[in-house]
Amino acid sequence: MTSAPVISSPDSGAPETGGPGNTAHCSGVGLSLPARLEAILYLKGRPLSLGELAEIAGTTREEAELGLITLMADYAHRDTALEIRQEGQRYGLQLRESLGDLVQNLLPVDLSTAALRTLATIALKKRILQSDLVELRGSGAYEHIKELLAQNFIERRRQSEGRSHWLTLSEKFHRTFAVRADELQPRPRQAA
């Protein structure tokens, strides 16, 4: 891989990948393409192909590749716990392998990092349809949901109208993570 040309964005001074049509303010996000790719990799929590990254970022494969190269170079030169990892034709954001022991010592429960991210998504939403969660986190969320249900961190109730299930946090979640139920009030249900 070669380094992508890096230019400064006139409004923010932040580096941005050079390339035709690439702007730091595409889609009103206000972030450079490498920053958007980083956010996508973090939120998806699983390795993605270049095509998937380009589609989600709303850019071409070539621009996504340049943005990814810039992001990977940035991580390689930073003293950080995270890294961009290439697995075959897929790219993922993950903790450096050398931190595996630290992670196991710090996690209060026996959950995978991906399942913890899924749990965090449920906690942020307070209450979410399983189908919406899978759309946000990818099909791997089905396994995470099984893992979270098996360890009683979430509750699942069938939707009164529809095929999906509502996912909410359990009492065990609140005890384990020292979060009171009244700190995470469910949002009012919107009319369909």
Does 54 fall in a domain? yes
* CA 191 – CA 5 distance, rounded (Å): 49
Q: Contact at 8 Å (CB) between 91 and 48? A: yes
The label of the residue with tokens 């909410």 reads: 168
Average pLDDT for residues 60-81, to the nearest whole number?
92
Other C-beta atoms within 10 Å of 69: how many? 19
Backbone angles phi, psi at 172, to 5 degrees: -60, -40
Q: What is the mean pLDDT of the chain?
A: 77
Of the candidates 70, 98, 126, which is a domain's last residue?
A: 98
* Domain around 128: 107-183
CA distances in angstroms from 62 to 65, 67, 75, 95, 178, listed in the order given:
5, 9, 20, 26, 45
Does 1 fall in a domain? no
Asked if 15 and 74 sit in the same domain, the reply is yes
Q: What is the pTM of this model?
A: 0.44
Highest mean pLDDT among 35-44, 58-67, 84-93, 118-127: 58-67
Does 190 fall in a domain? no
Q: What is the CATH number of the domain that holds 163?
A: 1.10.10.10
Of the candidates 98, 118, 138, which is a domain's last residue?
A: 98
Asked if 122 and 94 sit in the same domain, the reply is no
Count of domains forming the chain: 2
Q: Quick check: 166 pLDDT over 80?
A: yes
Asked if 121 and 89 sit in the same domain, the reply is no
Asked if 50 and 112 sit in the same domain, the reply is no
Indicate the DSSP class of residue 75. Answer: H
* CA 172 – CA 189 distance, rounded (Å): 24
Does 191 fall in a domain? no
Read off the pLDDT band of 64 (50, 70, 90).
very high
Does 160 fall in a domain? yes
Of the candidates 98, 131, 152, which is a domain's last residue?
A: 98
Does 81 fall in a domain? yes
Asked if 14 and 67 sit in the same domain, the reply is yes
